[in-house]
Copies of this chain bind each other. A is one copy, B any other.
């Protein structure tokens, strides 16, 4: 029987099924047969798209990070003041992770237990990809003379590191508190750092830096 779906659609259907089952049963209890059934395809078909159950799951994680990046870009492309954009991006990043963890609560420990080495191997890549979005905005602020930044990319890394301890990579390490509390802390750190980045002439205003003459990007 020829499927009515395109190759890409089938792939997405598999990942959607994975998302549902992972959140519901966790990695260990989710079987490849389950995925096939949930996606409404044969088991063998999954192996035409992915090399293994591991690969399916890792691709699913990749997709999540991809969506985070899209959200960050959406903010980065705004015409708000660069400082405000950065602040919003930092908060969005932390809250996105928070919500993800919330969504996969039960399954996260399970997932980490099974795929920790593979996930660690990818973490550096994720981190770098996210940092690039931040670097873009930092670079823009630098060129506009708003930011006192030497190397945009390494400053971006420092920025992400600074808020990283707030985002719960794993329930096992970080028991997550209230969403609002995490948001507040992120904002606090963001302000602390941003006040250092802002050039002196802008500095007086501490927290609520006013919107500056907009510069359109892209």
Interface residues of A (CB under 8 A from B): 112, 116, 120, 148, 154-155, 157-159, 161-166, 169-170, 172-173, 175, 185, 188-189, 192-197, 200, 203, 206
Contacts and interface: CB of A to CB of B under 8 A. Distances in A.
Contacts of A161: 162-163, 165-166, 185, 189
Is chain A's binding surface mostly helix, strand, loop or mixed?
Answer: helix
Contacts of A164: 164-165
Contacts of A195: 148, 196
Contacts of A165: 161-165
Contacts of A203: 200, 203
13 contacts: A116-B172, A154-B188, A161-B165, A161-B166, A162-B162, A162-B163, A162-B189, A162-B192, A162-B193, A165-B165, A173-B173, A192-B197, A200-B200
B200 A158 contact: no
A21 B164 CA distance: 33
A120 to B, nearest CB: 6
B120 A188 contact: no
B116 A158 contact: no
Q: Which of A161, A175, A185 has the most CB of B within 10 A?
A: A161
Contacts of A194: 196
Nearest to A195: B196
The 3 closest A-B pairs by CB, nearest first: A196-B196, A164-B165, A162-B162
Contact of A172 (B159, B162, B173): B173
Contacts of A185: 157-158, 161
